[in-house]
Amino acid sequence: MEWLIKEREQKVTTDTKNVGDTIFVSENSMPVSSLHQTFNKSWKQLMDNNLNEWTILEMEDNDLAKATNRFTTRATRMNGYDYTDGYQFRCIRRSPYSYFLGRREV
C-alpha cells in the first residue's frame, strides 16, 4: 500500500504517522491480504492432504501467551471467512509450544 503525507509530498515507508497528518491511499495498489495468500499458497494444500485431521499450520515457542492469543484471534477470524468453507481452525497450547491448527472436513 502506498502512503503519502500530502503536505510534504513524502512517501512514508514506516507505519509512523502523526495525528493530523493527511495521507493518500492508492486503492489500485492494495495488496491481497497476506492471511488470504498464506491460506491459498500453503495451508490449503496441507489441510487438503490430511482430510478430517487437524494439521499443524504454524507453531511458536517464544511467548506462549502472546502466540496463543494471536493464534486464537486468527482462528476466530479465519473460521468466519467465506473462502474457508469446509475448513476449520483452532489454537492449542502444549508446553513448550503454541500451535495454530487447521483441518478440512469432507
Strand-pair partners of 100 = 58, 91
- pLDDT tens column, 50-106: 999 999 999 998 888 898 999 999 899 888 876 677 899 999 998 889 999 999 988
Report the predicted TM-score, pTM, of the whole model to 2 decimal places. 0.65
- pLDDT tens column, 8-43: 555 545 556 667 766 665 555 434 467 778 888 889
Residues 17 and 51 in one domain: no
- Structural domains counted in the chain: 2
Q: Which residue segment(s) compose the domain that 16 sits in?
A: 1-30
Rounded-to-integer distance, Cα 51 and Cα 68, Å = 24
Residues 3 and 53 in one domain: no
Residues 95 and 44 in one domain: yes
